[in-house]
Structure 1
Amino acid sequence: MTTTVALGTDLKVSNLGECRFDSPLAKYIGGRRTNEHYVDEDDRVLFDDTISLVRERAVPVDRLPSFEPGGPRRQVFFAPGTARVGVVTCGGLCPGLNDVIRGLVLELCTHYGVGEVTGFRYGYAGLVPGNGHRVTRLTPDKVDKINEQGGTILGTSRGAQDPEVMADTLVEHGIDILFVIGGDGSMRGAAGIAQVLTRRGLPIGVIGIPKTIDNDIPYIGQSFGFQTSFTVAAQSIQAARVEAQSAIGGVGLVRVMGRHSGFIACYAALANHDADFVLIPEVPFALDGDGGFLACLRRRVTDRGSAVVVVAEGAGQELLTSSGSDASGNAALADVGVFMKERITSDFEAAGQPLTLKYIDPGYAIRSVPAQASDSVYCVRLAQAAVHAAMAGRTDMVVGRRHNRFIHVPISLAVSMRNRVAPDGDLWLSILESTAQPFEMR
């Protein structure tokens, strides 16, 4: 699915009020103007990035869809040294959570005079007093070196909480800014809190830093943790190739995360060219028949002696039966990895073809590792952008990067759809080129 916006779509970010205080970072940006490396705060970042897309809009330049740029402002809404800040991490684990927490605390304390940050424990549950989770105080010393460990020092949980109660908690703790680190469900929760605060007329900012290893949040480029996740997944694919090539009729089957979007499967497969087939939610396939996946797999093993199959957890769900939902309201998926293992085994047996199948599921190992260097850099830059936005009085928004420029995106837009691999896009074309799998398996 391509991430397009209709002309007239509201890309404006909400503000708490006028910025009246000089920013401590004003000296860093004094005299700078937009260039290929920097965007001035009064400029905008265009949504479209090609001449043809811009021409199709058929409107003057000042009416083209555009985002507010991220980065420090010359003036801020909160007086430096006075803001009281809270941080919460929500949803599943993801590489880089501690990097973001550390980045927020260091930026706030080093440049904006914040003495300490209030950490709310175990996700939104920590914003509900009745759950009994005590807050923790975050200081530069407390967050030193936490980027070297996986997970989140604040803990996390899934599931929605009453936004009215969470807003009460922010008021009780005297919080001026809340940073929410989480996925699309967490961002919806953040929007709910922001709406309550706005309705009450309270000048409390809510800023989202979107994370999901599935990379399924639109308009923000890549979400943090994704690069580390597909790197870890690629190691499992490499192991599957070694196993498959060492056996008679060897097949390595690797199941990776990706409920609705196959980005991890695609990037991990491209990382080392070890995959012969990549199955993702966005591209349906048939199992049976001469053109189906099973027949294609048997032919590949016959021709090359072995094969590696990478399947995203949400692939082929139309072939299975699932029911129920998790604490976040997501539909429970049937286990496509085990299903494919059983179907491949029975198909080879029925065809009288030798098979040695090794099934690898890296599962939660993908989520729990520390961020690698490239992700760590992205995390700290997102954290800095989030702090700059918050101190300038922005609210009900997330930070991200588009066309390699940091931008502010209204939460309503960030949760309006799901970023998915486009079957007619260049990423899927690269998969077809790399694996030489059939264009269609029907």
Structure 2
Amino acid sequence: MEATSNGQGQHHMKIVKGDCGYILEDIPHLSDYIPDLPTYHNPLQDNPAYAAVKKHFIDTDDTVTQKILVHKDSQRGVHFRRAGPRQRVYFHSGEVHACIVTCGGLCPGLNTVIREIVCGLYHMYGVNRVIGIDGGYKGFYAKNTLTLDPKVVNDIHKRGGTILGTSRGGHDTMKIVDSIQDRGINQVYIIGGDGTQRGAALIYEEIRRRGLKVAVAGIPKTIDNDIPVIDRSFGFDTAVEEAQRAINAAHVEAESMENGVGLVKLMGRNCGFIAMYATLANRDVDCCLIPESPFYLEGKGGLFEYMEKTLKENGHIVIVIAEGAGQELLTESLDGTDASGNKLLKDVGLWMSHKIKEYFAQKRKMPINLKYIDPTYMIRAIPANASDNVYCTLLAQGAVHGAMAGFTGFISGLVNGAHTYIPFPRITENQNNVVITDRMWARLLSSTNQPSFLWARDMAKAKKEGCPLPTQSPPSPKAENCNNNSV
């Protein structure tokens, strides 16, 4: 096999090429820049809990394929290093001084990840020095720390939020690494979304530049499920499940009144996964609007025409809209970004409720009863459900195994059902989005019977990469190329 690096001074991602198109996008290791590091016997081998396990350790050449569906003549493609314990570790239990930080918005499962990192270090590796950084990245240099042990974190998974506190922004690479160095920290566990992990990559690069024996491990967190490569992010299942309560309430309200309209706004700044899966799970939704699928309100094939038709047929309608959907339709847009670098959004749900009331009152002279429900912060603040709790446990333990084995500059994630180590650049280079030309969106359209809001010609063009989709109204009949699709 041939190993190369595309680091170029930053984002040190090792590329290993093998036969039949095999590519391993490997992760950095402390030994890459600190020669002759001593290794130690992995204490897991003597752990009574693992006594009955037939195979304690992951083979060094175990990898996980990124793309599971292939043709018979396909090349082997991109792989990632499989997560799990290694036979030799690069930290002695007594020397480890670990820290954990949570950044960005709240998400179900944060406390579970904290708990399992602490318990994994203590119970699997005999580590007894773990601290929590209070208040996100700025807590490294502006706030006190919290001593963590199994007793402190024993029942935190039953609570929402994060016991460490969180914040957006506050990232100062030099100050953070200075604090890590001054405190003698040698394992850093960073829980956060794509912006947080970009910050984690900068921390890793500065640590590497200084030649420090410090492992940096990320656990990707985004309730929207917009981090690429991984199967899903923790908290997503819980969010979809909790969203059912809001949709059910909207359905009851709408069904109980003449021409009842239930409008529910769900999270989804740039992608509509929560809205899509909550709609598919519920089956009472008549229309789902997401950022990836532009729609228009008036005219043939528009939302209002569909609403009027549904109200006449069923007497009520339930609409789910993601927070980032339809932003291009709002007459006033917000400039700037928040502290995490996210574009500021207008409240599309509130705007939509006003537009619906205005249309049916003034243009159709049709009385409606609209109820608008926004459960965003209720969903974010709840504890993780059973499925997410198990998932958080495996992500946290995977990060601990990787850091103890000397790996650094990686995130712990699930790829094709297998736990893997993914280099930082792969999960920060783009975002995961709903593909509206894929079968999952077709299943939703079939379930709701809503229009696609795309004309036939535009649907064909949408399948070609790089073609924009219509935004507010149907394209003009003279539009013959991709550049004239939207008006």
TM-score when normalising by structure 2? 0.84
Q: CA shift at 1:325, angstroms?
A: 1.5
Q: Say whether residues 1:161 and 2:179 are aligned partners.
A: no
Query: Which residue is 1:402 aligned to?
Result: 415
Match of 2:340 in 1: 328
Which residue number corresponds to residue 343 of structure 1? Answer: 355
- Asked whether the 8 Å contact 2:100–2:188 carries over to 1, the reply is yes
* Cα distance in 2, alignment partners of residues 9 and 126 from structure 1: 39
* 1:11 matched to 2:25: yes
Query: Whole-Å Cα distance in 2 between the matches of residues 427 and 22 of structure 1?
Result: 47
* d(CA) in 2 for partners of 1:420, 1:213: 13
CA contact (8 A) 2:97 2:185 kept: yes
Which ranges of structure 2 fall in alignment gaps of 5 or more residues? 1-14, 32-36, 455-473, 475-487
Matched with 2:242 is 232
**Shift of the alpha carbon at 1:159?**
0.5
Which of 60, 65, 74 is the matching residue for 2:87? 74
Q: State the Cα distance separating 1:240 from its structure 2 match.
A: 0.3
Residue 98 of structure 1 corresponds to 111
CA contact (8 A) 1:82 1:113 kept: no
Output the aligned Cα RMSD. 2.0
Tell me, yes or no, if structure 1 residue 42 matches structure 2 residue 40.
no
Amino acid at match of 2:346: A
Q: CA deviation at 1:116?
A: 2.9
Secondary structure class of the residue paired with 2:26: coil
5+ long unaligned stretches in structure 1: none
Assess if the C-alpha contact under 8 Å between 1:25 and 1:73 holds in 2.
Answer: no
Judging changes above 3 Å, is the alpha-carbon distance between structure 1 residues 9 and 186 closer, same or farther for their aligned structure 2 residues? farther
2:462 equivalent in structure 1: none
Q: What secondary structure does 1:357 align onto? A: strand
Query: CA deviation digits over 1:211-255, x for unaligned, max 9?
Result: 110000011111001111111111101110000000011000000
Deviations 1:290-317 (A, max 9, x none): 2111111111111111000000000011
Structure-1 residue corresponding to 2:152: 142
Q: In 2 relative to 1, CA 167–10 (structure 1 residues): closer, same or farther, beyond 3 Å?
A: farther
Residue in structure 2 matched with residue 216 of structure 1 by the alignment: 226
Q: Secondary structure at the match of 1:140?
A: coil
Q: Are residues 1:89 and 2:89 paired? A: no
Check if 1:258 corresponds to 2:272: no
Aligned 1:51-62 pairs, distance under 5 A: 51-52=70-71, 55-57=73-75, 61=76
Partner of 1:32: 55
Deviations 1:256-294 (A, max 9, x none): 110001011011111220110000000111111021111
Q: What stretches of structure 1 move > 4 A for 4+ residues in a row?
A: 5-10, 27-31
1:81 Cα shift? 3.0
Name the counterpart of 2:136: 123
Q: Contact conserved, 2:292 with 2:325, CA < 8 A, in 1?
A: yes
Corresponding residue of 2:430: 417
The corresponding residue for 1:242 is: 252
Partners of 1:26 and 1:75 within 8 A in 2: no
- Following the alignment from structure 1 to structure 2, what is the Cα–Cα distance between the partners of residues 55 and 370? 46
What is the one-letter code of the residue matched to 2:360? F
SS in 2 for 1:364: helix
The CA deviation string for residues 47-72 of structure 1, in whole angstroms up to 9 with x for no partner, is 111122x7344xxx4xx310100111
SS across alignment from 1:157: coil
Match of 2:283 in 1: 273
Mapped partners of 2:292, 2:74: distance in 1: 27
CA distance in 1, matches of 2:293, 2:122: 47
Kindly indicate whether the alpha-carbon contact (under 8 Å) linking 1:286 and 1:293 is maintained by their aligned counterparts in 2. yes
**The structure with more radius of gyration:** 2
> Equivalents in 1 of 2:170, 2:132: separation in Å?
18
Q: Deviations over 1:158-205 (max 9, x none)?
A: 004211110010111111100000011110111110000001111101
Residue 55 of structure 1 aligns with an amino acid whose one-letter code is D
* Alpha carbons of structure 1 residues 275 and 19: separation in structure 2 relative to 1, 3 Å: farther
Whether the aligned pair in 2 keeps the contact of 1:220 and 1:399 (CA below 8 Å) is no
Asked whether the equivalents of residues 19 and 393 of structure 1 are also in contact (C-alpha less than 8 Å), the reply is: no
The reply to whether residue 312 of structure 1 matches residue 330 of structure 2 is: no
When residues 108 and 154 of structure 1 are mapped into structure 2, their CA distance, relative to the original with a 3 A threshold, is same
Is 1:21 aligned with 2:44? no
- Conservation of the 8 A alpha-carbon contact between 1:105 and 1:116: no
Higher mean displacement: 205-214 or 19-28:
19-28
Q: Deviations over 1:40-98 (max 9, x none)?
A: 4421111111122x7344xxx4xx31010011111111123321100000000000000
Question: CA–CA distance in 2 between the matches of 1:253 and 1:101?
Answer: 35
The answer (yes or no) to whether the contact 2:250–2:371 under 8 Å persists in 1 is yes
1:124 alignment partner AA: Y
For residues 319-370 of structure 1, give each alpha carbon's deviation from its aligned partner in whole angstroms, at most 9, with x where no partner exists. 1222221111211011110111011111111111120000000021110001
The answer to which structure, 1 or 2, has the higher relative contact order (CA under 8 A, 6+ apart) is: 1
SS where residue 137 of structure 2 aligns? helix
- Provide the secondary structure at the position in 1 that maps to 2:343: coil
Q: Which amino acid aligns with 2:336?
A: G
Inter-partner Cα distance in structure 2 for 1:263 and 1:160 = 29
1:361 aligned to 2:361? no
Which region of structure 1 is more displaced relative to structure 2, 244-253 or 13-22? 13-22
CA distance in structure 2 between the aligned counterparts of 1:252 and 1:44, rounded to whole angstroms: 47
* C-alpha contact 1:26 1:73 (8 A) present in aligned 2: no
AA in 2 matched with 1:74: Q
TM-score, structure 1 as length reference = 0.92
Corresponding residue to 1:378 among 380, 386, 391: 391
* In structure 2, distance between residues paired with 1:195 and 1:342: 49
